[in-house]
Structure formats: C-alpha cells, structure tokens
C-alpha cells in the first residue's frame, strides 16, 4: 500500500535584511526558533519527532552539525537524528523532499524539515593562512559571495549576470522585470503572510523587541524601482529591486505519515516532487522545465493548479516559468516573493513551501506547486494538495 505523506506545522521567521533586525541571531538560532513554532503549530509532542533535515548553504563558522544544533536548541529529544543539507538555494526544499521519501519508505513517521541562513553572519575567508604568508599581501574572500552567489563553473561570475543573459535571450524587457517587482512588493505589503510568521524576540539596548513582519517590504519605496541602475553592468536589465536581496531567516515544517496527523489538522498531502538539471548558466529557466516535468508526473495540467510559488531569485525566473507552462502570473506568488521579501538562500526552498501551504489553506484548499532554481543549473519542484 502506498503511504501518503502530509505537511503540517509550517512556520517561518520574519525575513531580515543584510545586517538588519535579525543579524544578531545565528542561522541555527533562527532555525531553532522556527522549529519550535512548527512543532507547536503541528499540535504534536516534541517526543514524536524522529528525524530532522535542515538546509544551510553557508555553514562556515556555525560549528559542528548545524541541524543537530537546531534539534537540541529547539528542545527536541536527544534521540532525534539530524542531517544538514546543502543543495544551494534548493536546500530547504530538498530537506522536505528527503523527509518525504524517508517517510514514504517506512523509515520514519514524523520528521522536522526546513532551511536556515544568516547571510549577515557569513564569515570572510583567509586563503593559505594555514601555511602562512611569508611576504607580500594576502587575500580576504567573502564566503557568502564565493559559496552562495558566484558561479563555480565560470569563476567570478555572479548569478545576476546570468539573469541578465536570460532576460536578453528570452526577450524579457527591463519594464517587464520592474513591473513584476512592483507586483511582488505590493503583494508582500498586503500583510497576507502573517499566518506564516512566528515572531522573533530581539534584544535591543533598552528592551526586548518583537519582530513579527518582514523587514524589507516595510522599508521599500515602490516609486524608486524604475529609477534604479542595472546591478550587473551598464547595459543590464537586473536591478536591486527586480532581484532578491541578501537576507536572514529560517522556515520549517513537519512531515508525517497519515497515521501521525492530528484529526483537526488540514490535510496537506505531498503528491510528488522532482529535480531538473541543465547547464549551470541556464538556471533561470530551469523551474519552468521542472514544473512541466512534474505536471506530467502528476497527471495534472497547468490549469488544474490553483496556486504556484516560484522563488524570485530574480524576477526573470518566475516570468520564464509562467511562460513555459502557460499560466498567468495572477496565480504565481500571490503573497509576494523574494524580490520583495529577500532570499535567505538556505531557507528559501522551505519558505516558498510554507507560503504555498498557508495560501492554499487560506483559500479553502486546492492544488499547488512550488519550484526553486539553484546554482549549478538545477531546479526543484514539489506538488501539494490541500483537501481540508
């Protein structure tokens, strides 16, 4: 008999800007906060959690076994087995699909999965310092840029340069990119995401402050979006507004077999998931192919799907994905995406699933699909159905 797997207890932190409101917390502290909220929202005892998968792209300096740190800091039993996952921007979604497959295989019944990142706290690297510099200048490398934002196959090339190339290749204008960024920001400003967020208490100089909303939409100015200069070359089309920003945050969920789902919980069933891979410089178009393949696997048509979440690493990504599968952006990222919110890279794959789950529940159910591109030319996609 096929074992159905469900998602419950989704939660995320607010998303903080670079060196912003959440920068005083490490990735593992953010992950533990989200994990505690997920367990509470799932209506489960912490003792029911058997395993944990947590995505993290920038673990340098965090200490041993970041996922294990999350487990113990969140107050989960010492018996919970923990694995840290790095699949670039897809890490948080990969964590969820690994949990799904473990449950499907009968290796566990209840698993915590998600992702976390504090890009503000990513350290700088000092190459060759172990050997020592006998004479001359040394080099300092930003681990966030090297391990998270630069292409490994075209050394020194930033992901945004490939976004510009994709926009030119597929004839996506600067105006179209900016229009999408404005739409994303307006949707993010609506406040619809309040059901996703577990507020974080931050110690200030004088008192504790509760952060309950995403930082960057509060500070954005829509009127300036068309005026921004290209970020990756004078002739480029990608700007700071129609690209995602450097951010901090975490997002988690509980995956469980049907026997472990509380009776009162919405039935959010994982239908299937998929990975698509192409040339590294073609990552911006990969989510469209991933979702097309997943539609074939599920037997759904694009019209069958009520809501889509496509990570806005750059605005060109969801635009190309919507074109590829033939859907309107009216049902893509209806609560706004990373162009507005920010993109804590290890967390975003889980964040878009959390957003999709809550948006489907808010509308009373339906089918949903989430996809995310990642460095190296891959994309992940997952299909969900909420039935009550």
**Helix, strand counts (H, E) of the chain:** 11, 14
Give the start-end residues of each E strand in the chain: 5-12, 16-17, 51-55, 81-85, 110-118, 124-125, 141-142, 200-203, 208-211, 247-257, 268-277, 307-310, 366-374, 378-386
Instruction: Pick the catalytic residue from 52, 89, 284, 339.
Output: 89
Ramachandran category for residue 233: left, alpha or beta (phi over 0 → left; psi -120 to 50 → alpha) = left
Instruction: Tell me whether residue 343 is one of the annotated catalytic residues.
Output: yes
Separation CA 286–CA 357 (nearest Å): 22
CA atoms of 294 and 5, how far apart (whole Å)? 17
* Catalytic (active site) residue 284: no
Q: Give Cα separations from 78 to 48, 49, 95 (angstroms).
A: 12, 10, 20
Establish whether 275 is a catalytic residue.
no
For 173, other C-beta atoms within 10 Å of its C-beta total 11
Determine phi and psi for 7, rounding to 5 degrees. Answer: -105, 135
Active-site positions?
A: 89, 343, 373
């Amino acid at each position: 008999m096929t074992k159905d797997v469900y998602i419950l207890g989704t939660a995320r932190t607010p998303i903080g800007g670079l060196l912003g409101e959440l920068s005083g917390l490490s990735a593992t502290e953010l992950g533990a906060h989200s994990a505690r909220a997920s367990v509470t929202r799932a209506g489960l005892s912490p003792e029911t959690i058997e395993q944990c998968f947590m995505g993290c792209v920038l673990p340098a300096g965090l200490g041993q076994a970041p996922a294990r740190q999350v487990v113990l800091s969140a107050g989960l039993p010492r018996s919970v087995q923990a694995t840290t996952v790095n699949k670039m921007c897809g890490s948080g979604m990969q964590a969820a699909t690994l949990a799904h497959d473990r449950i499907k295989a009968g290796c566990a019944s209840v698993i915590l999965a998600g992702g976390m990142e504090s890009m503000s706290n990513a350290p700088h690297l000092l190459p060759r310092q172990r050997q020592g510099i006998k004479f001359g200048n040394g080099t300092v490398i930003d681990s966030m840029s090297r391990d998270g934002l630069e292409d490994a196959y075209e050394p020194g090339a930033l992901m945004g340069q490939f976004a510009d190339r994709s926009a030119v290749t597929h004839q996506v204008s600067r105006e179209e990119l900016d229009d999408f960024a404005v739409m994303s920001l307006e949707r993010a400003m609506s406040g619809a995401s309040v059901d996703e967020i577990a507020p974080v208490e931050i110690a200030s100089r004088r008192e504790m402050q509760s952060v309950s909303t995403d930082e960057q939409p509060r500070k954005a100015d829509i009127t300036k979006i068309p005026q921004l200069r290209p970020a990756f070359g004078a002739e480029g089309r990608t700007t700071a507004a129609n690209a995602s920003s450097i951010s901090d945050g975490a997002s988690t969920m509980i995956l469980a077999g049907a026997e472990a789902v509380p009776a009162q919980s919405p039935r959010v069933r994982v239908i299937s998931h998929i990975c698509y891979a192409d040339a590294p410089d073609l990552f911006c178009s990969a989510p469209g192919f991933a979702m097309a393949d997943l539609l074939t696997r599920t037997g759904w048509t694009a019209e069958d799907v009520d809501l889509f979440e496509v990570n806005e690493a750059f605005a060109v990504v969801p635009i190309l994905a919507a074109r590829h599968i033939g859907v309107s952006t009216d049902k893509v990222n209806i609560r706004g995406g990373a162009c507005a919110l920010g993109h804590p890279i290890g967390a975003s794959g889980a964040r878009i699933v959390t957003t999709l789950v809550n948006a489907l529940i808010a509308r009373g159910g339906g089918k949903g699909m989430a996809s995310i591109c990642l460095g190296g030319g891959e994309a992940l996609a997952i299909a969900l159905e909420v039935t009550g």
